[in-house]
Amino acid sequence: MADTATTFAGIHNENEFYSHHYLSEIFTGDIRDTVARWRDAAEAAGGASAGARTPYDALRALARDYLQFRRQFARARRHEARVGRQREWFAQLLGALGYAYEPHNHLLEDGDEVPVLFAGRRHGSVALLILGAYYGASGEDEDPLDLKPHPAQYHGEAPPPEALLRESWSDIVTRRIFGQPHPPRWIILLSPRHVILIERGKWTHNRLLRFDLDDVLGRREDHTLKAAAALLHRECLLPEQGASLLDSLDDNSHKHAFAVSEDLKYALTVFAALNAVRVLDVLSSTPARPNSLSPCENIPSLRSKRKPDHLHALARNLVRNAG
């Protein structure tokens, strides 16, 4: 399957969250104004402080911290130490993406609680939950969606719900969070190596964007950092006013897919029309045989001599009917 990792190193467009063609050919143009606005704001602020950096430069600045975190995390053996390292890294990453690090137990509508790192509201209701998938005492290659919550993620003295601790994050997202009467639209799932962006409508088809930080932060390619910032930053997902950038991207992606479908329909119709002209031209120039077994040769309308302008008119009519 084609993958946007060939265009943006480390960004994997699983099951076409957006169409591959849109991300590789159109997407960069659609985020150009946002990137330019960030750049202008940083230049106006002088660019001397962390607060004056663009979101993509904030991600770039995390590269060294990420490598240090990965080394320290690999050396840690006790589960408590590994959880602590991950919390420190999640706080850094969320800060670069414009989110506050606010770990707490989020109450679901079924009465259970799920540990979250941030809950963002829009128009009075929760629109985004940021979750943390923690690697335990061993292993770093597991898909974060296959991991399960750990009791150490919960806050307070009340024991965490046993049933929820036995469920994977994939199941919790599907049944516990999106299965609520009033679910959030967005979920970001963090792990030491990955960031996964999930949208409620696309999740039913297992569509998601996966960011492999080893590549995104390891390579520090400018266009990839800009893409990652545009897709994950709080300003783009939860703006204080107006429609979100990701809503605009989704609309443009659908419009582009429709335009491609219409162009394909038109091209196929023209192809059919031209082939019909060729067939009629061959039939009209071939003399009929009295005892021919070909049914076409005994149909007067197909055997009759047609003038070129008549055939061209037929082709035009076929094309016109496609519209």
Task: Give the per-residue pLDDT at 285.
Answer: 61
Mean pLDDT is lowest, of 25-39, 51-65, 129-143, 230-244, for 129-143
Between 205 and 285, whose confidence is greater?
Answer: 205
Alpha carbons 135 and 90: distance in angstroms, whole number: 13
Q: Output the six-digit token pair for 208.
A: 């998601």
Contact 194, 213 (CB under 8 A): yes
Whole-prediction pTM: 0.79
Task: Give the per-residue pLDDT at 320.
Answer: 58
Task: Give the per-residue pLDDT at 275.
Answer: 60
Task: Give the per-residue pLDDT at 268.
Answer: 46
Q: Which amino acid does the sequence have at 10?
A: G
Task: Give the per-residue pLDDT at 254.
Answer: 73
Mean pLDDT in residue range 124-140: 86
Between 275 and 180, whose confidence is greater?
Answer: 180
Look at residue 322 and tell me whether its pLDDT is greater than 90. no
Task: Give the per-residue pLDDT at 40.
Answer: 94
Which of 16, 276, 239 minimizes the C-alpha distance to 122?
A: 239
Q: Which residues, in sequence order, are CB contacts of 47 under 8 Å at separation 6+?
A: 53
Task: Give the per-residue pLDDT at 266.
Answer: 41
Task: Give the per-residue pLDDT at 255.
Answer: 85
Average pLDDT of the chain is 83
Q: Model confidence at 80, in pLDDT bands (50, 70, 90)?
A: confident
Between 141 and 264, whose confidence is greater?
Answer: 141
Q: Model confidence at 316, in pLDDT bands (50, 70, 90)?
A: low
Task: Give the per-residue pLDDT at 288.
Answer: 52
Q: Which residues, in sequence order, are CB contacts of 224 under 8 Å at separation 6+?
A: 8, 9, 10, 11, 215, 216
Q: What is the DSSP string of 256-282?
A: HHHHHHHHHHHHHHHHHHHHHHHHHHH
* pLDDT tens-digit map of 230-269: 999 999 999 988 889 999 999 998 785 544 444 444 444 4
Task: Give the per-residue pLDDT at 5.
Answer: 59
Encode 267-305: b = buried (16+ Cβ within 10 Å), e = exposed. Answer: eebeeebeeebeebeebbeeeeeeeeeeeeeeeeebbee
Look at residue 6 and tell me whether its pLDDT is greater than 80. no
Between 221 and 303, whose confidence is greater?
Answer: 221
* pLDDT tens-digit map of 268-307: 444 455 565 565 455 556 555 555 544 445 444 444 444 4
Task: Give the per-residue pLDDT at 38.
Answer: 96
Look at residue 217 and tell me whether its pLDDT is greater than 70. yes
Task: Give the per-residue pLDDT at 256.
Answer: 59
Q: Which residues, in sequence order, are CB contacts of 65 under 8 Å at separation 6+?
A: 89, 92
Percent of the chain scoring above 70 in pLDDT? 74
Task: Give the per-residue pLDDT at 212.
Answer: 97
Mean pLDDT in residue range 154-161: 89
Task: Give the per-residue pLDDT at 282.
Answer: 58
